[in-house]
Chains A and B, each alone.
Chain A
Amino acid sequence: MPLAKTFSFIKDKFPESVYDVTESSGEQIFHIRSEVVRDVLEIFKEKGFNFLADITAIDNLTLGGFERYAVVYHLLSHDSLERVTVKAYVAEDKPSIPSVEKLWKTADWQEREIYDLFGITFDGHPNMVRIMNPDDFTGHPLRKDYPRLGNKERDDYPVIKPAFKRK
Chain B
Amino acid sequence: MDQDYIKSNVLTTTLESAINWGRKHSLWPMPFGTACCGIEFMAVLASRTDLARFGAEAIRFSPRQSDLLIVAGRISIKMMPVLIRIYEQMPEPKWVISMGACASSGGVFDTYSVIQGIDRFIPVDVYVPGCPPRPEGVVDGLMKLQKKVGKEKLSDYTTSNTS
Contacts and interface: CB of A to CB of B under 8 A. Distances in A.
Interface of A: 132-134, 137, 141, 146-151, 153-155, 157-167
Nearest to A139: B112
B22 interface: no
14 contacts: A137-B77, A146-B112, A149-B110, A157-B84, A157-B121, A159-B120, A160-B84, A160-B88, A163-B159, A165-B156, A165-B158, A167-B153, A167-B156, A167-B158
| Secondary structure call for the A interface | loop
B81 interface: yes
A151 B155 CA distance: 43
Given A149-B112, A153-B77, A154-B77, A164 B93 contact: yes
B122 A160 contact: yes
Interface residues of B, number: 29
Contacts of B3: none
Contacts of A134: 77-78
Given A132-B78, A154-B113, A157-B81, 17 more contacts: A134-B77, A137-B77, A148-B111, A149-B111, A149-B112, A154-B114, A157-B121, A158-B84, A158-B121, A160-B84, A161-B160, A162-B160, A164-B159, A165-B160, A167-B155, A167-B156, A167-B158
Interface of B: 77-78, 80-81, 84, 87-88, 92-93, 110-116, 120-123, 152-153, 155-160, 163
Contact of B112 (A153, A158, A163): A153
Given A161-B123, A164-B157, A133 B78 contact: yes
A162 B111 CA distance: 28
A160 B77 contact: no
A13 to B, nearest CB: 43
Contacts of B87: 160
A129 B121 CA distance: 28
